[in-house]
Structure 1
Amino acid sequence: MGHVQPPTPAAETAVLERADSLPAKTPKKAALASFLGSTLEYYDFFIYGTAAALVFPRIFFPGGDPVVALLGAMATFGVGYLARPLGGVIMSHFGDRIGRKQALMITLVIMGVASIGIGFLPTYDQVGYWATALLLVGRLAQGFSAGAEAAGASTLTMEHSPEGRRGFFTSFVMTGYASGMVLSTVVFIPLAALPEEQLLGWGWRVPFWLSAVVLLVAYWIRTRLEEPPVFEETVEAKKPKGIPAAEVLKTQWRDVLRVALVMLFSVMQTTFTVYALAYATGKGIGLDRTLMLTVNALTIGLSMFTIPLAGIISDRFGRKKVLLVGSLGCAITSFGYFWAISEHNIALIFVFGFLNMSVFYSCWNGVWTVFFPEMFPAPVRYSGMAIGSQVGLILTGFAPAIATVLAQPGPGGWIPVAVFTVACLAVSAIAIATARETHRTPLEELGLPRQRSSFASR
């Protein structure tokens, strides 16, 4: 073997100068920025879901059959998920090319403007089907933005996080989900108690207008955030020559597919927060809508504490173990939750809601935001996570509409819905089991063992 020459003083100086020029990791600031951005994104996304369950069937669709109107409202909720892959592909391209921060600033503004605009829409009684069409446009814009937000925020926060604590810091992306969900529900609780004429007239608009407040705060925080050092290092030396989306599909299509299948886990969330709300407050069951909104707010609010805990546990014991425990627990408690609703058992509704959302679903929300970006190397990390996760979310978006079709009349009519949810959880669990464990892999080595593209050898 030949003798390896030690680096020259000039080379060592160049390396040190390069390191000094890189921005420092700021995990706390990144976690806060992702938390606030996700709070806005999910607040806006779920005020739509709540309104779709309680209000939109009556003001954006023609009168007549209430089941058809509800199905239409649930379908518009799902349409937002059709736009998410497009938003993920387009914005992740810019995120992998020009920077995570810039892409996230754009998505933030799109979501805020779309949501505020929905609050000013005319109703069906005023302009007919134009109202429905404008609602769809607003929902598509929401979906486009949300398709890039979670992947970008997760990627940025994970790359800013110290080794051994990536799960904890990245979990704040979905702590923002819990915060946004609670805010959206809490805002709707007093409005849901309004006289019906006022709720349908102006009350439902207030949550959409309030998006402006969260938008301004989140935008201000994100302007003060730096790009992750690992992105600055790879953007010049290892940036793929082609389109990042095409690169990751060429070299890691199995991981992209795996992410899409694992993402079916989130069917549990839209079934719980959107369909179960409509089911419980509909004519067949007739539970008080304020009560069910309170269940959503409390159970998801408590997950603000359990989501970071799940991230911490995954840093210690591994991502896959926490995810698999969550999938099994959600499968069992979903049956209990729907049964408790059908029995009008308020105490058990809270108990099963807590176990489902606060405990087991937090195993998912505390880990997937770090589990997915850890599958890909930095030059295509945003694209790989965005494409896989947003394709997988299409079924999630239409889960409330599918559940509406599957539900049967009578006390046990919820059983087909629970079976559908558990089937999605089973597919997700199988995909999780086939993935690599990455919680101890150094940041610079993530995605590289399976990477066969040209930038791996540069």
Structure 2
Amino acid sequence: MSASTIPMRRVALSGTVGTAIEWYDYFLYGTAAAVVFNKVFFPTFSAAAGTLAALATFGVGFFARPVGAMVFGHFGDRVGRKAALLTTLTLMAGSSFLIGLLPGYQTIGVLAPLLLTILRFVQGFALGGEWGGGALIIVEHSPARRRGFYGSLLGCGVPAGLLLATAAFGAVSLLPDDDFLAWGWRLPFLASAVMLIVGTVIRFKVSEPAVFTEIKESQGTSRNPLFETLRHEWRHVLLAGLARFAPDIGFYVCSTFLITYVVNDLGLSRDVGLAAQLIGAGLMLLTIPYFGYLSDRIGRRPVYMISAIALAVLAPVQFLLLDTKVPALITVVPLIGLGISHAAAVAPQASFYAELFGTRTRYSGAALGYQLGAPFAGGLAPIIATWLISATGGETWPVSVYMLLAAAISFVALLRAPETRGLPLGAAAGNRQDARPTTVGVDDVTAPLIRSTGR
């Protein structure tokens, strides 16, 4: 079956299921870092120091993500989107499976946290290349008028992965504490082997997007797509990275940090935090496609800006809700932080970031733009939030200020970014790379735009 005749439902399924599996592995680590890794891999630390050390290994993966974006961006622009995606899936699931087999500190000493950190780096490296490829597989196949909606389905892989990880961890948390710490926490990681098989089968059935194969055959691929991207499109990469601050910081404060705060600071059961996270992720599954649909109607930037506005609203009231210790009120935090703020960002991201770059460097540009802010936003968010509370003697207002700053950074970056809705793929980049407009994904409304703008 040619790329042009592949049903969009199969394309969307390939991107969404594969991404859900990779995010399952990624979030599984974050949940484990918040509730178990301090005991298994850092038992000689105090409770607070052990939690910070475990969250630090969580942050390592974020610093690996831009590296993965550069490597797989190059690979995806030179060889193809599909091959890169199959490789990232294998690396992610394989490293998660090995974490499930990793002996603890009591068995192999300091080698245990060292190996844990290495495997976490591999996870981040793989995820750095996953999102860009998944986004392009869907968006480059999509009809122009529905790129926002179809691209948003990739974003559904985030809450789906979070739901799977939280549900899996919630199930093994029902075990007696001794069994949970001894072997129960390992079972969700070992399940990654099964998910790898499922994801590989699904992704093998999708061909390369025609827009990529046409460029590859007519003009050839870029010899150095990363250099070309940074030379011509560095501004788009920078703005895309800064736009990620609000959704990334909001997400990890409302998920990983929330569980840590509920357990360590409020003294509540981890099940309260896990349940709140599940409900917030469930709402995301509903709101992401809606926000994607909305981005096809009013634009990518206005929808994305809702993320920053929602985070700014949540920041000053978050701890008022959490400190009530009432589960229903605690749940409001992830409902806003995940179901509205994060959903409004991830919904238009695939189409928005793909539309910012030309075909020959689209994988490198979209992947790097998406992952550039990861180390400084999502990676450090739970660590900074935990440290701010500890350093101020239990004060929570610095975390609220931190969230407000993130919202402001994203909002200003989006004000400076171009609106891409209604433009042909590559038009925002000036179509330097696409000598002629491709018929793939360009409808009768947008095609004349190339001629009228002279791009």
What TM-score does the superposition give when structure 2 sets the normalisation length?
Answer: 0.92
* 1:37 corresponding residue in structure 2: 18
Question: Alpha carbons of 1:166 and 1:141: their partners in 2 closer, same or farther (altered >3 Å)?
Answer: same
Encode CA deviations 1:234-257: one digit per residue, 9 max, x unaligned: 113334543100001011111111
The match for 1:397 is 379
Contact 2:359–2:434 (Cα < 8 Å) also in 1: no
CA drift at 1:21: 7.6
SS of structure 2 residue aligned to 1:407: helix
Question: C-alpha offsets along residues 402-436 of structure 1, whole Å, 9 cap, x if unaligned?
Answer: 11111148996222112112211210111011111
Correspondence for 1:92 among 60, 69, 73: 73
Contact residue 418 and residue 428 of structure 2 kept, 8 A: no
Task: Kindly indicate whether residue 385 of structure 2 is the aligned counterpart of residue 406 of structure 1.
Answer: no
Aligned: 1:180 with 2:180: no
1:326 to 307, 317, 320: 307
Quick one: distance in 2 between partners of 1:78 and 1:405? 14
Q: Distance in 1 between matches of 2:151 and 2:237?
A: 20
Q: How does 1:126-141 map to 2 (within 5 A)?
A: 126-141=107-122
Read off the aligned partner of 1:228 and give its amino acid letter.
P
- Give the aligned partner of residue 12 of structure 1: none
The unaligned stretches of length 5 or more in structure 2 are: 437-455
Report which stretch shifted further, 273-282 or 45-54. Answer: 273-282
Match of 1:68 in 2: 49
Identity %: 37
Match of 1:47 in 2: 28
**1:314-366, CA deviations, whole angstroms, 9 ceiling, x for partnerless residues?**
00111111111221012212432332112213222223331221123211121
- Who is 1:435 aligned against? 417
**Which letter maps to 1:96?**
D
1:385 Cα deviation from its structure 2 partner:
1.2
Deviation at 1:128, TM superposition (A): 0.6
Question: Does the CA contact (< 8 Å) of 1:60 and 1:124 recur in 2?
Answer: yes
Q: 1:327 & 1:125 partners in 2: Cα distance?
A: 44
Cα–Cα, structure 1 residues 388 and 128, in superposed 2: closer, same or farther, change >3 Å? Answer: same
Separation in 2, partners of 1:348, 1:409: 26
Distance in 2, Cα, partners of 1:120 & 1:381 = 37
Distance 1:440 1:56 in 2: 47
Partners of 1:64 and 1:354 lie apart in 2 by 34
Equivalent of residue 293 in structure 1, options 274, 285, 289: 274
8 Å CA contact 2:250, 2:341 repeated in 1: no
Contact residue 342 and residue 411 of structure 1 kept, 8 A: no
Aligned to 1:393, what secondary structure does the other structure show? coil
SS in 1 for 2:101: coil
Partner residue of 1:163 out of 133, 144, 153? 144
Q: Match for residue 13 of structure 1? A: none
For the 8 Å contact 1:327–1:429, the answer to whether it is kept is yes
Partner of 2:224: 243
Q: Which amino acid aligns with 1:439?
A: R
Partner residue, 2:234: 253
Name the aligned partner's letter for residue 59 of structure 1: V
**Aligned alpha-carbon RMSD (Å):** 1.8
Contact 1:163 1:442 in 2 (8 A): yes
Out of 320, 324, 344, the residue aligned to residue 339 of structure 1 is 320
- AA partner of residue 292 (structure 2): G
Does the 8 Å CA contact 1:25/1:228 hold for their aligned counterparts?
A: no
Which 5+ residue runs of structure 1 have no aligned equivalent?
Answer: 1-19
Q: 1:410 to 1:387 in 2, by over 3 A?
A: closer
Q: Is the 8 A contact 1:25 1:161 kept in 2?
A: no
Q: Distance in 1 between matches of 2:230 and 2:155?
A: 26
Deviations 1:123-152 (A, max 9, x none): 001111100011011101100110000111
TM-score norm. by structure 1 comes to 0.91
Q: How many Å apart are 1:298 and its aligned residue? A: 1.2
Larger radius of gyration: 1
Q: 1:424 to 1:310 in 2, by over 3 A?
A: same
Alpha-carbon distance between aligned partners in 2 of 1:250 and 1:344, rounded to the nearest angstrom: 51
Provide the rounded CA distance (Å) in 1 between the counterparts of 2:15 and 2:25.
15
